[in-house]
Amino acid sequence: MEGAPAATDVAAATGVLTPTPPEQRGEQGPAADGASQRWPLPLPIPGWFRRAESEQEEAPRAPVQVQVAAGSKQPILSFAGGGIFFWWELGCLRYLHRNFDLTKVQLVGASAGGLIATLAACGVDEDKAVRVANRLAQEYGVFERPGGLAGIWGSLIRAWLEELLPEDAAERCAGRVRLVVTEVPSLKLRYLQDFESKQDLIDANMASAFIPFFLDGKATCPYRGRSYIDGSLWDFLLSDNSDLIKCDGKACVVDYFNDDQLQWSRLDFIKLADLQQVQAFVGTGYAYAARVDAAGDCFERPLGSTRKGTVRKVLEVPVWGLRRALASVDG
């Protein structure tokens, strides 16, 4: 098991709020088992957001199945929503990718987490994802625009996915990837899966990550004849990850809120970050994953069966180096 690298300073965060350490919230591992205290808003919790305590009194659920495909015993790795903290999650993915065989894992994600799940299933190089995003941001002139990402973030994400994802992306995600969306007007959560093509997969990701009006000036995102918005909406409002992310407690959930060394404020998720800041986020996410992995069974318990052996990791070192070099050229 690799030791944790030194914590990386996150220049992009404003430091308005420092989250309470997980152990003080009664949590174990990288995901919260109960309701967190990050943004305690006086909102009622919809019955379909949380499974009822009693099976006899189970509340109506969104029209999806939370369990993995019938007969599947693969572990589940879920990525929570995060906006700009996508890059922190990408750092976690880099660590997990190098230490676990993610081809043997079911992947679930909402919003930014859905993008991470898709990249993981398609084997997209993390460094290339950073470089291509930076190049597109410069081409779109986001750093010079008074509104930053507002109104163009959607088209930028779509162009980014079209360049990064392989042509067989839908096949790679088949039976493995589920994206959480919020249906409109019911505001119920549901999964999108069984993608028909690369374009269909991209459309599903856009629906899962759709922040009303901010991405492209529109209120909702159409997908297969229905309207959706960001799949992490209720997580943001109710300060906890939904059962569709937790998969009824079966999933190992990656959520930036659980990093007690990461400083952030409530609206940092839509902040604009330059290349240096993005790389700092990635480094911080990697350091977090390495730190919690070294400290206990946070990843070992749910993902231990997929952990790579020492020999395999040594043999893969030149492969990662080559991919990183190619990413710097591609980006």
**Catalytic residue (one of 36, 111, 232, 242):** 111
CA atoms of 223 and 10, how far apart (whole Å): 36
Using alpha carbons, select from 110, 119, 115 the residue that is nearest to residue 64. Answer: 110
Whole-Å CA distances, 10 to 26, 96, 113, 249, 278: 26, 20, 20, 31, 9
CA atoms of 210 and 296, how far apart (whole Å): 36
**Catalytic residue (one of 125, 127, 203, 230):** 230
Mapped onto helix, strand or coil, the DSSP state of residue 254 is strand
Residue 72 is among the residues annotated as catalytic for this protein: no
Burial class from Cβ neighbours inside 10 Å (0-12, 13-18, 19+) for residue 13 reads: buried
Structure tokens at 246: 């937790």
Residue 111 is among the residues annotated as catalytic for this protein: yes
CA atoms of 140 and 137, how far apart (whole Å): 5
Helices 153-164/198-208 angle, 10° precision = 140
258, 284 in Cβ contact below 8 A?
no
Which are the catalytic amino acids? 111, 230
